Every structure is written in structure tokens, then in C-alpha cells.
Amino acid sequence: MDKKTEIIIPPMSARALVVAKGETLRIVDVDGRQPGDLVVFNADDLAERFSQSRTRVENRKIKITTGDRLWTNTQPPKVMFTIAKDTCGAHDLLYTPCCRYALETRFGVSRDGCLEHLAEALDPWGIGVNDIPDPLNLFFDVAVSTAGDIVIREPTSKPDGHIDLRAEMDCLAAVSTCSVPLSGKANSAYRLEVFSGT
Ligand SMILES: [Zn+2]
């Protein structure tokens, strides 16, 4: 594969880019144990976008990994990305993006979250806060107890852990590095790489 693009996403921020059909988007958790969010739009029709719930149902999983696919909100639903490789194995399909409200009420910190950062990155495409779909929560390990409680587990991704997503349509993708305070480490960066060819 030939590397075409490389973008650093600093801690607590987001970046957006177009990934053409057939290209592979690699998201690298540079220091490890850093959750983040991915949202995707059809680059040719922004009303068509990633559906967290459709992706959960089509894969019949609350977390996805190698071989699983990301689906649109449309009827019939379409595949946006296929996960070609994943070194982590825990990318959650239950949580909303964090936001200023959640950070203030649950964590006692006053700052923007993934929701606001994703909207800022997507502003050049006219996509605002209310247009951001629920995301794929990257490097974020969530389980459900037998009583139905949502349980957040310790992140397991290692430094330079990554997920490779092969685009099945021309995708506008936005990725954030999460603003939620982490236990035992500082919030850290991601690196995005786009490869052409196989
Ligand atoms: Zn977040």
C-alpha cells in the first residue's frame, strides 16, 4: 500500500478528511489507551451517514473488529467501511460522543468534548452539532452486565495500536481524540494515515 496522507490529531481535538472508495484509513492510537470517536458521511450525499444502531444490528455486536462493517442510515443500508485490520478488538457501538454537557455534569471539567470538536472539524462541509451521528467509539471497551448495566472497561490499546478501515464508498470521515479525563495518563494524540492500493 502507498501512503497518501498523514494527519496528526492533537489531544482533545478532531480532524476531517475525504477517503476515496478503495483507499484505507488507518487510525493510530499513538500513546495507547486513548479513546476517540469516528463519524462518517457519504462524501457525495451528506444526508447519508454512519448509523451506530444499524451497524450494531447488521454485525449483531456491541463492539466491532476485523471483518466487521460500518453501515449507513439509509434504506436499503449500504456499507461505508470494512475493518480490514484491528490490533485492539474493542471499538464500542453503544456510547454517544462526549460533549460539554457530559464533561461538566459527570466529570466536573469545563471544556468542549468530541461532539463539539467533530462539528468544528466538519464545519467546512456545513455539518453542525445537531448533524453529528452517534459514533463508532474507537479504542473504547464497553460491556453490558447480565442486569443490563453498561460497564466501561479499562482501555486495552497499546502504543501505536491501530484500526484499518477500507472505504467501500467515497467517505467524509471525522475522527476525534476524546476529552474525557483518563485515569493514570494524559489525553493523547492519534495519527491518521490514508493508503491507496491493497
Ligand atoms: Zn469523547
Mean pLDDT in residue range 133-160: 95
Band (pLDDT 50/70/90 cuts) for residue 198 is low
For the question of whether the overall pTM of this predicted structure is more than 0.75, the answer is: yes
Distance from Cα 152 to the centre of ligand 1, integer Å: 13
Ligand 1 centre distance from Cα of residue 9 (Å): 13
Among residues 95, 98, 101, 126, the alpha carbon closest in space to that of 113 is found at 98
pLDDT of residue 197: 75
Residue 144 CA to residue 147 CA, distance in Å, equals: 8
**pLDDT at residue 80 in the model:** 98
Gap from CA of 2 to ligand 1 centroid (Å): 31
CA–CA gap between residue 163 and residue 185 (Å, rounded): 21
3 state DSSP class of 103 = helix
Distance of CA 113 from the midpoint of ligand 1 (Å): 5
Position 47 scores a pLDDT of 97
Q: Give pLDDT tens digits for 7-61.
A: 999 999 999 999 999 999 999 999 999 999 999 999 999 999 999 999 999 999 9
Could you report the per-residue pLDDT of 161-193, keeping only the tens digit for each? 999 999 999 999 999 999 999 988 999 999 999
**Whole-number pLDDT of residue 1:** 80
Using alpha carbons, list the distances in angstroms from residue 169 to 23, 155, 166: 9, 30, 9
Ion ligand 1 residues within 5 Å by Cβ: 98, 114, 178
pLDDT, tens digit (0-9, with 9 covering 90-100), for 81-134: 999 999 999 999 999 999 999 999 999 999 999 999 999 999 999 999 999 999
Residue 156 confidence (pLDDT): 85
- Cα of 103 vs centre of ligand 1, distance in Å, is 9
Q: Which helix (H) or strand (E) holds 52?
A: helix 52-59
The two counts, helices (H) then strands (E), for the chain are: 3, 13
198 C-alpha to ligand 1 centroid (Å): 31
